[in-house]
Amino acid sequence: SSKEFQELIELQKRLIHNGFRQLRPSNSSPSSSHCCMIYSTCSLFHQQNEEVVQWLLQLHLKGDTEATTTTTQAATTTISRACTVPISFLEAAARNESMPHIIHGSLKYTYRFLPNTTTTSIGDNNGFMSSGGNGFFIAKIKKESFIKVV
């Protein structure tokens, strides 16, 4: 139902936000993998994909205050914000004409895997997964940080 669909979207927003909050800012992590997360769904609905990612980006557009440090010279605040970043092998695949089932999403650096309709039925003879799959969405989200002198 429409109400259940909206509740699922709200749950996805809570999950992506909580995941983002657990990331280390990009300049505080020796490994860049600690400042990024993957958001992926097995849905092609924009409301569950690009709109959820866009919501997170808007929520953290101006940055969140992570910490304030005061020294004898100046007070500084570390600010963190969200951004999408490319996944190199998916960027290449989305531009490859021989892979038409991998395309860019409507939001920068998001990707869609379209259902593969060229395969035969999988599973039982009732046509279960006869399209070869439902497709899915993927985005890599980075927690960037910068220091602001206050």
Q: Model confidence over 84-108: pLDDT tens digits? A: 999 998 998 888 887 888 899 999 9
> pTM of the full predicted structure?
0.75
| Higher per-residue pLDDT: 31 or 75 | 75
Measuring CA to CA, which residue among 99, 101, 98 is closest to residue 113? 101
Per DSSP, 30 falls in state S
Residue 64 and residue 79 in contact, taking contact as beta carbons nearer than 8 Å: yes
Residue with more model confidence, 38 or 26: 38
Q: Is pLDDT of 74 > 80?
A: no
| 35 has pLDDT over 90 | no
Confidence (pLDDT) at 122: 40
